[in-house]
Chain A
Amino acid sequence: MIKKTNKLRTWSILLAALLYSNPLNAEELLISAAMSLKNIFEEIAPLYEQQVPDVTLRYNFGSSGTLEKQIEAGAPADVFASASQRFMDMLEERDDILASSRRDFAQNCMVLVVPADNPAKLAAFSNLKNKSCRNVAIGNPGSVPAGRYAAEVLQHMSLYKSIQKKLVYGEHVRQVLDYVARGEVDAGIVYGTDARIRSKEIRVISDAPPESHTRIYYPAAVVSSSRFKKKAAHFVKFICENSQVQKRLQAHGFNLIQTVP
């Protein structure tokens, strides 16, 4: 009998410990950021935490469209960093972000990539029409900015209709990159910065001309429901202005935004 109660007590204590083991850290900033920012943001986290020791950064990476839906549905994010103006606009229209805090901080470009051994022997965007090219991965244009830009590029080159049947949609741009790196598809269209990440497994065949797609400016803003608006605003300012961050952005292949005087 005694044994039984002891056991019960042990289990209840364990259960209680499990339930309460994750207290809400008061100084935690949750940054919802576009998938293409994964590496650079993970790199600048220690930089930021060094400067502002009482804040810990937590990241939630995903396609900008998915993140936008999450924030709209009340996700506890403090900062949203998007790969497209469109999803930021959608949140701004609903006052889900603080419009005054919104700033662009980086610029990107689109490239055509193939697996390192280039199985379909592609040399240019127009080769996507070739019979040897069986499938082409792009992001899902509905929720992945890189997919929308890719669709624009294909439309600009009058390729979209003829290769529509070959398109395989990724749920975020890194999935597209992975399809290409694994050789599951013959080609993919991703950001120039993504192409650098797995440079051993993939090859860049061609850069999309800047006029073929909407210009890719990354905006960041404070989420209206944030409990730490000041700290969130400070983080936005940090990624826009800190010289170390700018250096690293450039090292990753992002272009900086020229501020008009």
Chain B
Amino acid sequence: MDSSVLFSICLSIKVAAIATFFVILVGIGIAYLLAMKNFKGKVLLDIVCTLPLVLPPSVTGYYLIMLFGRNGLLGKQVYAWTGWSIMFSWQAAVLASFVVALPLMIRTTRAALETVDRELIKVSYTLGRSEIETFFRICLPLAKRGIYAGAVLSFARAMGEFGATIMVAGNIPGRTDTMPIAIYSCAGSGDWQKAHIMVALFTIISALFLLMANRFSRASV
């Protein structure tokens, strides 16, 4: 197989895996806050975290450039301190995937957490368990199924991310060309043979992954 095809596959999996890792961490945290707590700005947090789900990826990408670009709000500071910019790096692809996949994780996890019987949580508290203990021993195990589903959806979304990624990570062969970007690039330059291979591989990988995820979540519930 063409080494550039192999590179794109590996990069796609790497980017999606890292993005999903952070999505799970941050997503569960935010979902817990939204499901269990009442605080000022809750609605705002909910909306901001859900926006990437409904916004076109190009709009998300635009915001990311405004925030993290070399002349962006945060990107400018980072560049001034370190001389490094996230733009056109594979980390930018992780960032884009993270942002677009996060809402999926939050929404599914939040729904799962909300179905956890409040009585059980109260019982745990009255038996002297702290909130953190209760979270790990009561809430998480009971919301397991929703969390798996959220993680699978997030991974799939992160693998397929294209629009925001091409805006912040660009199309750099051998550096930032994830599968979707490499396929787009091949189709644009008439390299149909390579595009065929990658499209087929991507479909197979995605199908295998869904199959695995299905079995996994069924077996564990």
Residue positions of A touching B, CB distance < 8 A: 63, 65-66, 68-69, 135, 140, 142-143, 165, 167-171, 179, 182-185
Contact = CB atoms under 8 A, between A and B. Distances in A.
Contacts of B187: 69
A184 B188 contact: no
Contacts of A171: 166, 171, 188
Contacts of A184: 69-71, 85, 87-88
B69 A69 contact: no
Contact of B188 (A142, A182, A185): A142
A140 B88 contact: no
A254 B87 CA distance: 33
Interface in B142-170: 166, 170
Contacts of B128: none
Given A140-B171, A169-B172, A182 B69 contact: yes
**Among the interface residues A140, A142, A182, A184, which one has the most CB atoms of the partner chain B within 10 A?**
A184
B173 to A, nearest CB: 7
Given A65-B190, A69-B187, A140-B185, 8 more contacts: A69-B190, A167-B172, A168-B170, A169-B172, A169-B185, A182-B65, A182-B69, A183-B71
A167 B175 CA distance: 10
Contacts of B188: 63, 65-66, 69, 140, 142-143, 171
Nearest to A72: B190
Interface of B: 65, 69-71, 85, 87-88, 166, 170-173, 175, 185, 187-191
**Among the interface residues B166, B170, B191, which one has the most CB atoms of the partner chain A within 10 A?**
B170
A171 B189 CA distance: 10
Given A135-B88, A169-B173, A142 B189 contact: yes
A183 B172 contact: no
A69 B185 CA distance: 12
Contacts of A169: 170-173, 185
Nearest to A175: B170
A171 B88 CA distance: 14
B115 to A, nearest CB: 37
The 8 A-B residue pairs with the shortest CB-CB distance in the complex, in nearest-first order: A142-B189, A143-B189, A143-B188, A169-B171, A184-B87, A168-B88, A184-B70, A168-B170
Nearest to A62: B188
A227 B173 CA distance: 40
Contacts of A143: 185, 188-190
B189 A140 contact: yes
17 contacts: A65-B188, A68-B190, A140-B171, A142-B189, A142-B190, A143-B190, A167-B172, A168-B171, A168-B172, A169-B170, A171-B171, A179-B170, A183-B71, A184-B69, A184-B70, A184-B87, A184-B88
